[in-house]
Amino acid sequence: MTNVNNQRPLYERPILETAFYPSYKHLIQNDQYEEWGGYTTLASFASEGQEYFSVRNACGVYDICPMLKYRISGSDAERFLNRLMTRNIKKMLPDRVVYCVWCDDNGHLIEDGTLFKFSETEFRLCCAEHQIEWLLDSAIGYDVDIEDVSTDIAALAAQGPVSCSVLKKMGFSGVDNLKPFQLAVFSQLGFDVMISRTGFTGDLGYELWVNSSDAAALWEALFEAGKSRGIRMIGSTALDMLRIEAGLIMVDVEFMSCFHTVRHLREKNPFELGLHWLVDFNKGPFIGRQALLKAKQNKPQRQLVGLDIDWNKQADSALIYDSKDCSRQIGEITSALWSPVLKQNIALAFLDAPFYEGNKSMWAEVYLHRECLWERKVFECRVTPKPFYSPERKSLTPPEDL
């Protein structure tokens, strides 16, 4: 590992700013900062409602610089990743992206993320938590180089029904031909912009990746092209609403990495999160395979499902019971949302077997803080399929020209 002992002592450095921060700083109207991996980020810029609707209606832009990015290269890169991931990486075509999860030997979930394939010997892994130690230790015996390139690469997510049109207007001709989870490099701006049709919103959307030094130019071009199309920076509050509607899980909310669980049996496996489709037992050996095979023989004791709650107030942190008198707890809500597009009270929840199968009735116990008084309410709820919201435009290629 290279010694990076050339930086100023930490206390002399203020909290880090992302490569785009100077560009969008003037748009901040709220004092809603939050730290993400040591970076100053925004929970909302001005109005979380407006930000949310910019994605469902026009184009919302989210700064994803603090995500961790690892360059994985070398002659064994594909073999290495195929052992690391529960998915079959060998089936992956170049210039594609897949959503994937990885587990430890016990089949306990470590993290989820997206894997970009440039060639058989060159990949990029993008995720939210630091993985360098696991990646390096897993690389023992492989001809593979692993490098943390997080600060070298800056990235923005441009999401929403007009996102494709905005990108085309920027000059990225052919971007409309990108299928979901496909990527291509465009150089019309005078520097390389890698665009992948990916996102965390369940809508039509793209993620734009550039060298950090080109970040300001990219931002200017994007907002210039989008200014007449209702483009907006969005904060994490809006993003959270969008991902819940899309039924996407989040680390430290729906699951905790087995790297961080202190208590015994708090680890989760992919099946409990409903991610059966990400585990391929036919691809040959991979880390955690034996444990997951065993786990698959039995139904999970608990599983993550979508819930629909009979009421109109968000059921944050609610406990779920098998009856209205709340005597036996059978689960709890991890994420909850009153969905503005669906006009539906939705949630992601962990339920015990057999309740997650959906044919039993259940009740959510919700505590509401109303004018400095806490009120307890109990409402019936039911299991409902995820994603809650999945517009056709998400997968339409080429997207509608707006």
Partner 1 sequence: MNSLINAIIIGAGHNGLTCAAYLARAGQSVLVLEAAAEVGGLARNRIVANGEQLSSAAHLLHSLPQDIIKDLQLEKYGLHYAAQHLKTVSLNKNGATIVLNKQLAMGDQLSSADLLGYDRFYLDMQRFSKALLPVLGKVAPEIAIEDWRQKLDLLGLGWSIRKLGTFYMREFLRIIGMNLYDLMDEYIENTQLKAAIAMDALLGSEWGARSMGSVLTYLYRQAGELRNNTGLALPRGGMGTVSQAIAKSARQSGADIRCNSPVKHIIIENNKAVGVVLETGEEIYADTVISNADPKQTFLKLINPDHLGTNFVRQVNNLRAKGKAGKLHLVLSQKPSFTGLDDSLLGERLVIAPGMDDIELAFNPSKYKRYPDSPILEIILPSVRDDSLCQNGQQLLSAVVQYLPYDDSTNEDQNRTAMLRVVIETLEEYAPGISDLIITAELLTPRDIEREFGISGGHWHHVELVFESFLFNRPTPLLTRHATPIDNLLLCGASCHPGGNLMGIAGRNAAQQVLRGEK
Partner 2 sequence: MKKQQYDAVIVGAGHNGLVAACYLQRAGLKVLVLEKNPHIGGATTSISRYENFTYSNCSYVYSLFRQEIARELELYKFGLQVIPYEGGAQIIKNADGSYDSMGTYWHGDANRREVERFNKRDATAMERLDRDIVRQCKFIKPLLMRTPPDPTSFKPRDLMELLYLGQRFYGIGKQRMHETLRFYTMSVADYLNEYLENDALKSYLAGGATVGTALGVYSPGTAYVLLHHAMGDIDGTVGAWGFPRGGMGSVSKALNDSFIASGGTVRVDAGVSDFIVEKGKVKGVKLESGESLSANLVVSGMDVRRTFNAIDPNELPKWVIERAKHFRFRGSSGKINIALDSLPSFKGIPANSPCMTGDIHISQSMDELELAYDDWKAGKWSQKPYLDILIPSLIDPTMVPEGKHWMSVFVQYCPYKLAEGEWNETRKQAFGQHIVDRIARYSPDFKDKILHMEIRTPKDIENETGMSEGNIFQGELTMDQLIFNRPIPGYAQYRSPIAGLYMCGSSNHPGGGVMGAPGANAAREVLLDLGKGK
Q: Which residues bind partner 2 (CB under 8 A)?
A: 1-5, 7, 9-12, 35, 37-38, 106, 130-134, 136, 148, 259-265
264 binds partner 1 (CB under 8 A): no
287 binds partner 1 (CB under 8 A): yes
Of partner 2, partner 1, none, which one sits near residue 1, judging by CB under 5 to 8 A according to partner kind? partner 2
288 binds partner 1 (CB under 8 A): yes
382 binds partner 1 (CB under 8 A): no
Least distance from partner 1 to the Cβ atom of residue 324, Å: 41
Q: How many angstroms separate the Cα of 395 from the Cα of each of 147, 156, 204, 392?
A: 32, 20, 7, 6
| CA angle in degrees (0–180, nearest 5) for 286-291-297 | 115
Of partner 2, partner 1, none, which one sits near residue 200, judging by CB under 5 to 8 A according to partner kind? none
Question: Binder to partner 1 among 1, 4, 93, 140 (CB under 8 A)?
Answer: 140
Least distance from partner 1 to the Cβ atom of residue 83, Å: 5
| CA angle in degrees (0–180, nearest 5) for 65-56-214 | 25
Question: Binder to partner 1 among 36, 52, 116, 134 (CB under 8 A)?
Answer: 134
Between 142 and 223, whose beta carbon lies closer to partner 1? Answer: 142
Between 110 and 238, whose beta carbon lies closer to partner 2? Answer: 110
Of partner 1, partner 2, none, which one sits near residue 138, judging by CB under 5 to 8 A according to partner kind? partner 1
75 binds partner 1 (CB under 8 A): no
The one-letter code for the residue type at 242 is: L
Q: Give the whole-angstrom CA distance, residue 121 versus residue 235.
A: 35
Sequential DSSP letters for 342-392? TTEEEEEEEEETTGGGS-S-EEEEEEEEETTEEEEEEEEEEEE-S-S---G
Residues facing residue 349 across a β-bridge: 305, 333
290 binds partner 1 (CB under 8 A): yes
Q: Give the whole-angstrom CA distance, residue 18 versus residue 32.
A: 16
Of partner 1, partner 2, none, which one sits near residue 251, judging by CB under 5 to 8 A according to partner kind? none
79 binds partner 1 (CB under 8 A): yes
Of partner 2, partner 1, none, which one sits near residue 285, judging by CB under 5 to 8 A according to partner kind? partner 1
b/e string for 335-363 if b means 16 or more Cβ within 10 A? bbbbbebeebbbbbbbbbeebbeeeeebb
Stretch that binds partner 1, among 145-153, 160-168, 285-293, 325-333 (CB under 8 A): 285-293
Q: How many residues bind partner 1 (CB under 8 A)?
A: 19
Q: Say how far residue 335 (Cα) sits from the centre of its chain.
A: 14
104 binds partner 1 (CB under 8 A): yes
Least distance from partner 1 to the Cβ atom of residue 68, Å: 18
Q: What is the dihedral of CA 392, 398, 399, 400, to 10 degrees?
A: -110
90 binds partner 1 (CB under 8 A): no
Q: How many CB atoms lie within 10 A of CB 266?
A: 12
Q: Which of 153, 157, 168 has the alpha carbon at shortest distance from 204? A: 157
Q: Give the whole-angstrom CA distance, residue 351 versus residue 333.
A: 9
Take residue 314 and report the two structure tokens written for it.
């968000």
Q: What residues make contact with partner 1 under the rule CB under 8 A?
A: 79, 82-83, 104-106, 134, 137-138, 140-142, 284-290
